[in-house]
Amino acid sequence: MIPAYQLKSASEYAAVVRPLLPREAFRPDPRHLFRILAHLTIILAGYLLIRDTNSLWVAVLTSVVLGHSQACFVFLGHDLTHNAIVKDARLRRPLELLIWGLNLIPPSLWFRIHNQNHHPSTNTLEDTDRVYRACEETAVNRIYSRLFHPNRKTPLRHPFVLVHFVTYIIRHLVAALMPGNRKPSLVTFKPHYSPGLKRHLLAELAIIGGFQVALWFFFRGTWWRYVLAVPVPIIVASCVAMVYLFTNHFLNPLCEKTDPLIATTSVEVPRIFDWLHDNNSYHTEHHLFPGMNPRYYPLVSKLLREHFPDRYNRLPIAEAWRQIWAQDEFISEPDSLPGTRTAALPMAAE
């Protein structure tokens, strides 16, 4: 509910902040390839251990470790797709298929809904990631919201909300494969999918499916080993990712046009998690400079505090998580639409 005239574009913020940053902050950082290799090694070793161990508890613990590495793959794949690690498509695209494919996500789907839609339309009506509006309330959307969105109507603060990343991908995959502009009501916005893009998406799904068949035989057709090697780590990865993703945008208002400071929230986490998760907590910084080397996000945060203290939102993760459960079930309309009221800009966290 922020009036359009009070909103700023990314270029307006960048005009102030970018000259104060070193040039190397905007160059790809191939050192992250070692992180990718490390997590790939953990995942492959985990597969071997789950296949060969006779201890269910060892297999379960290994499954959780796999899930964390796959969550780290989500963060690294996110940076990779934004060209923050390497720009050469001959290396980047196979890595994207590997990283996103291990999380059962076609990379072309991710690029379409995240890079090409979510970023230029953050917390606007055309955002694929936003909360449902009140006018979009249906029985299905209400049930989904209370199962997979943290809000004050969600009973008992149950953990199903942390599986939202899995259901998010499924919803958008179904929408992508539906003809024309048709989409499930659970999808807030469907970007255009050309016939060529759909063919590419289906080819990626075939590759991902073929790898899953190979994994099934690798685990000798033992269902519990396969479940602990694939579905459980996917759920664990979703849990890790959603702790960040819900607080990144669900605390922010719906706007007529996107404003990277008003529409996003960064969170403060212990330094060990910033190191493990590639500074993913600095989400406003990422929306301002999507292709930036994440190592420089703390510097951007400092500059935003200095130059835009009344617009920059950064909260301790525990406080952000507390606030997310106090949010309304459906988001208010942008202020420029008929029947809405003017609201003051949100106060930045101290």
Per-residue confidence (pLDDT) for residue 349, from 0 to 100 = 43
pLDDT digits (tens, 9 = 90+) for 137-173: 999 999 999 999 999 988 778 888 999 999 999 999 9
Q: Taking all residues of the chain, what is their mean pLDDT, rounded to a whole number?
A: 92
Rg (CA), the chain: 20
- Which of 310, 245, 290 lies closest to 2 in space, CA to CA? 310
Q: Rounded CA gap, 42 and 39, in Å?
A: 5
Q: Given a cut of 60, is residue 305 above it in pLDDT?
A: yes
Q: Please work out, in degrees rounded to the nearest 5, the angle formed at the alpha carbon of residue 78 by the alpha carbons of 143 and 249.
A: 45
Per-position b or e across 139-158, b if 16+ CB within 10 A of its CB? eebeebbbebbbbeebeeee
Mean pLDDT for 61-88 is 97
Cα 200 from chain centre: 22
| Sign of the four-CA dihedral 286, 112, 165, 142 | positive
Torsion angle in degrees (nearest 10) through CA of 93, 227, 157, 244: -20
Map tokens 């990718």 to a residue.
36
Per-residue confidence (pLDDT) for residue 6, from 0 to 100 = 79
Per-residue confidence (pLDDT) for residue 35, from 0 to 100 = 96
pTM for the whole structure: 0.91
Backbone angles phi, psi at 316, to 5 degrees: -60, 140
Extents of the domains making up the chain = 4-324
pLDDT digits (tens, 9 = 90+) for 205-237: 999 999 999 999 999 999 999 999 999 999 999
